Chain A
Amino acid sequence: MRTFVTIAGIAAALACATAGAQGLTSDQKFLSLDGKVQSLKADVLSVGEEIKALEEELLFPPSTQFAVFLAADIDSSIKLVSAQISVDGTVVANHMYDTGQLEALMGGGIQQLHLGNVKTGPHKLSAAYMAKVGKKVSRYTTEYSFNKGKDPVYLELIVQGKDLQEGGKEPRFSAKEWK
């Protein structure tokens, strides 16, 4: 019985292989390119931020700006299917939820459902949701009256429901103004 290798050979080869791998990952050219890309990305993001500011000033000035957010304090016993919001009887936003968005909401993320403009004065927001508990899909609604002044108005729609069961406790839907 013969083998063609020795432990010393393995050690030497291992040393070479390890050094080779490290040499490649710490290669100066790669690092220099990576630095260049990071700097470029930061510069593009900065331009993006300026464009965002310009767009907002132009399209959604504070005197008329109005935004609707949706937050959810829910678990997997309820699946939010869709949300529709109307302002003074006119539908302004419709949204269907995918798994990634529901997970983001459950993780504490808040969705901006609508960004638009309303005139100064009193308004009424109506929200309609489709949500699934067990196998049953139900429609829920909520309304909220607000007054638009010279500052932007941010409204928060809140969906609450944990450990729900079909035919049992219902999820709760509410709205409030973020001040």
Chain B
Amino acid sequence: MKQGTESGKKSPQRRLAAAGELARRLLGKSVVRRVCAPLLAGCLALLAAPGAQAGPQVKWKDVRDPQLGKALFNLYQDRNFTGIIELSHALHTQKLRAQSQDAELALVMLDLSYGLHRRAGARLASLMNRGDTRPDITNQIWFYAAKIRYQRGYFNQAESALANISGALPWELEQDLQSFSALLMMDRDQYPEAAQLLSQVKGRTGGVPFARYNTGIALIQAKKKDEGRAVLDKLVQTQADTEEARTLRDRAHVSLGYLQLLDNQPQKAKAYFEQVRLKSSQSNEALLGLGWVHYNLGDFSRALVPWMELSGRNVADTNVQEARVAVPYALIKLDAYRQAKEQYEFAFRSFKEELARLDSTIASVKKGAYFDKLLAQSRWEDGEKGWYGEVYSLPAAAESYYFTQMLARHDYQETLKNYRDLRYLEQKLNVWSTDLGAQGDTVAGWSTDVDNRVRRGAAATFAARVNQMRQLRDGYVAELARIEAQHDAPGLASEKELQQLARLKSLEASPPAGSAEQAQAYRTRLRVLRGRILWNVHSQYNTRLFNMKNALAEMEKTIETATAQQNRLADASQKAALSSKNLQQRTKILNNKITQLRPRITGALESLEDYLKVVALQDMEKRKQILSEFLAQVAFSVGQANDPGPGGGTPKR
């Protein structure tokens, strides 16, 4: 470092250099932070491993019940909300003709996939208590339950879910289980045990590189730095065929680079940083590290190359902020004071602008404006999926950058999922409410129709006819009783006989003109004819009385049948009215339930939004704090550079 020309009087260059020393200390602190970042990220990498968040993989091989099959069809397509409703209904209405135990397990899986891990755990425990379980399936379900609980921050419950697993899982899941158990150990600071467990993960599945990475991290944390480094070294040398694997390799390179830098091995660190792809998500940290490598090697002009590249990137990234402070510092080392001053001024301006952007974002978050944009990106139909549904993509807005890191946080992701799910439920309640209205109308229409057709129409006509029959019957019974009492045989004469007797009477009253003998013969003929009719009537009295009584008995039977039919019709009418009343009552109860659920959902949505805001604001404030530290340092450096000193006429500092 070039010294000032006069002792006791600092030149602007000297003051700038002194300011640079302060910047160096600040940068030193932030290097610690940079090294930690990939290590911590590494700890969490496991959950991002392929398959870790994939949909449920529990498979049933022998499906013999359509309701179980339908539930699985829903489950495999992440139609969890619909699946739960349909399978619960099928179970409660005893529709399961076979495999009801399997169906209950499928319901647990649906609950779990939908994010209802508490209810799923309780149901599964209850099934296990009943002894109604298939270990091949329950073991897998407990494993998924553990993962979901871990991701939601229920660490103890995650461990208790793992404790329920008895026996082996399918091979791939067994590997996954070991990685996951190691993650839990690392959370308990049991790094040697975690490293031991992770070293047993084998095979060529997508999760293995993540297990290797975490093994390296666990060993380093367990103070076995060399062993950990060796594992990471092996990882970066393996073939990376996918973007995910390449990103992991970049991350391992960055971690190894910073570890070497910490061990005063900048030359070795350089080799690692240079392997990181320039467009990788890790490249900012690599560029920053590479700058520090050259700086430590005393090659300040070379340090400027990665730092200048980094300095031109998005200033919202703290790596870029650090580079903008590091660049003028390296320039001072090269005695390029004018350029250093320019770079400090550039950093000062850009930091001020960034602070203003942060303030504006904070205001936008406080007003909820940003969340409106964020939530507008969401696909509400994903609310059907629940836990397995994708999380939000960020809107094309200036504020989005600040949310990328927050979206990597489990609590933030899970809260957003919950928020999306509740918005879906809110919409679902609206649809149901409309459907219930339509059903209510249908029931009311049906009820009126039944009422008109049965009670007022057919039933009324039928009742009138039955009454008529009863009256007729009563008349016949009374007449027959009189005839029997009076032994009135003519009373049983047929209609024809009565007509013939009436005709004979009429002929007697008006005899034809003629002689007396002719008149006598005429009357005699009429008497004989009447006698024959009356003889028939009297001689057949008993038979006719018997037949008449039989006919009345038949009539009685007909009336009884008709009365029974009339009663059945009335019953049916009453039942229809009751059923319609019952359906209308149920519709009303359901509408009430929907009405009660709505404010609960609104309240929960507000709480979730508040939580999302608070977390976002905390993160912004943290960013502001880091940036303010840089800004203060840069402002001091700029001030020093502009201060002509004690003889310069400017106020003393």
Residue positions of A touching B, CB distance < 8 A: 1-7, 9-10, 13-14, 17-18, 21-22, 24-27, 29-31, 33-38, 40-45, 47-58, 67, 69, 71, 100-101, 103-105, 107-112, 154, 156, 178-179
Contact = CB atoms under 8 A, between A and B. Distances in A.
Interface stretch (B59-67, B208-216, B309-317): B59-67
Contacts of B36: 10, 13-14, 17
A13 B297 CA distance: 25
B40 to A, nearest CB: 5
Interface size grouping (class) on chain B? 35 or more
B409 A104 contact: no
23 contacts: A5-B32, A10-B262, A14-B40, A21-B44, A22-B155, A25-B153, A25-B410, A31-B154, A41-B116, A42-B116, A44-B597, A47-B429, A50-B586, A51-B432, A55-B435, A57-B583, A58-B442, A100-B77, A104-B72, A109-B70, A109-B75, A109-B77, A110-B70
Contacts of A4: 24-25, 27-29, 31
B466 interface: no
Contacts of B297: 1
Interface of chain A, helix or strand or loop or mixed? helix
Contacts of A13: 32-33, 35-36
B396 to A, nearest CB: 28
Interface of B: 24-25, 27-29, 31-33, 35-37, 39-40, 43-44, 59-61, 63, 66, 68-70, 72-77, 81, 84-86, 88-89, 92-93, 97, 114-119, 152-155, 187, 221, 261-262, 264, 266, 296-298, 386, 409-411, 414-415, 418, 421-422, 425, 428-429, 432, 435-436, 439, 442-443, 583, 586-587, 590, 593-594, 597, 600-601, 604, 607-608, 611, 615
B583 A54 contact: yes
Contacts of A30: 153, 411, 414-415, 611
A178 to B, nearest CB: 6
Contacts of A6: 262
Nearest to A55: B439
Contacts of B415: 30, 33
A108 B60 contact: yes
A53 B583 CA distance: 11
A49 B88 contact: yes
Nearest to B43: A18
A38 B118 contact: yes
A3 B264 contact: yes
B73 A33 contact: no
A21 B40 contact: yes
Contacts of B261: 3, 5
Max count, chain A CB within 10 A of own CB: residue among B85, B429, B586: B85
Contact of A178 (B35, B93, B97): B97
B597 A43 contact: yes
A157 B314 CA distance: 59
A-B pairs with lowest CB-CB distance, top 7: A110-B69, A4-B28, A109-B73, A104-B76, A25-B153, A109-B72, A48-B85
A18 B27 CA distance: 22
Contacts of A47: 429, 432, 590, 593-594, 597
Contacts of A45: 81, 84-85, 88
A29 to B, nearest CB: 6
B611 A9 contact: no
Contact of A1 (B85, B264, B608): B264
A29 B428 CA distance: 27
Contacts of A42: 116, 119
Contacts of B262: 3, 5-7, 10
Contact of B63 (A38, A49, A110): A110
Contact of A27 (B66, B117, B411): B411
Contacts of A14: 36, 39-40, 221
A17 B611 contact: no
Given A25-B411, A57-B583, 6 more contacts: A3-B262, A21-B44, A29-B611, A50-B590, A54-B586, A108-B69
Contact of A104 (B73, B187, B429): B73
Contact of A53 (B27, B89, B296): B89
B35 A1 contact: no
Nearest to A152: B95
Nearest to B78: A100
B106 to A, nearest CB: 10
Contacts of A156: 66
B298 A37 contact: no
Given A25-B153, A49-B92, A112 B70 contact: yes
A63 to B, nearest CB: 13
A97 to B, nearest CB: 12
A144 to B, nearest CB: 15
A103 B72 CA distance: 11
Nearest to A47: B593
Given A40-B601, A108-B72, A71 B63 contact: yes
Given A44-B428, A104-B73, A51 B435 contact: yes
Nearest to B44: A21
B442 A41 contact: no
A125 to B, nearest CB: 15
Given A33-B607, A57-B583, A71 B89 contact: no
A154 B590 contact: no
A111 B60 CA distance: 15
A10 B72 CA distance: 49
A3 to B, nearest CB: 5
Contacts of B409: 24-25
Contacts of A49: 85, 88-89, 92
Contacts of B35: 5, 10, 13
A107 to B, nearest CB: 5
Contacts of B118: 35, 38
Nearest to A69: B66
A89 B410 CA distance: 55
Contacts of B152: 25, 31, 34
A110 B72 contact: yes
A5 B59 contact: no
A58 B615 CA distance: 48
Nearest to B88: A49
A52 B61 CA distance: 28
Contacts of B86: 52
A38 B25 contact: no
A54 B66 contact: no
A108 B118 CA distance: 27
Given A55-B439, A109-B73, A110-B63, A40 B81 contact: no
A179 B65 CA distance: 9
A104 B77 contact: yes
